[in-house]
Chain A
Amino acid sequence: AQKVTQAQTEISVVEKEDVTLDCVYETRDTTYYLFWYKQPPSGELVFLIRRNSFDEQNEISGRYSWNFQKSTSSFNFTITASQVVDSAVYFCAPDAGNNRKLIWGLGTSLAVNP
């Protein structure tokens, strides 16, 4: 069975600090995709990034970057120079199962204070 763990329930930082959100995905699958979504107070889930299990190359997109290490099942997401508008709940969501549905962690609530 697959298991998604987001160990950090709440994080509070001051604006302009860098912040890393942790995610561990345990699975026996060799092929899978990993997504990060952001959920601001409005409730809408906003797609952020998608990575596949074949590619462990870390990437940067604007203020976002991610570090995927298949050997440790970790898929961490970093926001550089955080802003107040980054305050939201962040979900790690692997694509798993025959239905290819997303399964979700419990989320990490990020508060960026001015």
Chain B
Amino acid sequence: DAGVTQSPTHLIKTRGQQVTLRCSPISGHKSVSWYQQVLGQGPQFIFQYYEKEERGRGNFPDRFSARQFPNYSSELNVNALLLGDSALYLCASSLAPLSGGNTEAFFGQGTRLTVV
């Protein structure tokens, strides 16, 4: 069974550019969450989607946006990239929204974004 897949694995962008990261959840999972992990720190929550609707948003600027498609895959978009956006972006897949601890999340290997 395929786990959570993210693409691309590595990406280098220039300041001011836009980037799209992609995530395919585990088959049967309807919820996708996105996290940003800066080197040496824990992941920070960006978005959670369930059944194509946004269910949660972290403390990130409007330059960050996401969507979920009918097949439950998801894209994370970041506009007007800054050097500080350089990080590992992790996608988490779960059966249902992470609610009350009733489900655990399975993470992809991440996309390492470097902004130069």
Contacts and interface: CB of A to CB of B under 8 A. Distances in A.
Contacts of B109: 42-44
Contacts of B97: 100
Interface in A71-114: 91, 93, 95, 99-107
A3 interface: no
Interface residues of B, number: 28
Contacts, number: 68
A22 B115 CA distance: 34
B42 A95 contact: no
A13 interface: no
Contact of A102 (B100, B105, B108, B112): B105
Nearest to A45: B107
A105 B55 CA distance: 23
Given A33-B100, A100-B56, A47 B105 contact: yes
A52 B101 contact: yes
Given A43-B112, A44-B109, A107 B42 contact: yes
Interface of A: 4, 31-33, 35, 37, 42-47, 50, 52, 91, 93, 95, 99-107
